[in-house]
Amino acid sequence: MKALLWEGDGFVLLYKRLENGNFKWPRHEAEVRPISWQEFRWLMEGLEIEQKGAIKPALPGAFC
């Protein structure tokens, strides 16, 4: 996986290759979406972006 990260004064090129397994990245254009830093971390660890056990952050104004 290759990614560009903007740090305010220039780009950083990130490159990672899993030794065992594949990245769980969407296979269809309709599944592509922005991801959070937490989802990016999961992806880099070889996990799926959607973690069933993860607690999602509350949306502004969304109360019980």
Given a contact cutoff of 8 angstroms between Cβ atoms, the answer to whether 25 and 2 are in contact is no
d(CA 8, CA 6): 6
Give whole-number Cα distances, 41 to 25, 44, 49, 60, in Å: 13, 5, 9, 24
Q: pLDDT (tens digit, 9 = 90+) per residue, 29-57?
A: 888 888 888 888 888 888 888 777 777 77
How many helices (H) and strands (E) would you count in the chain? Answer: 1, 2
| Reported pTM | 0.58
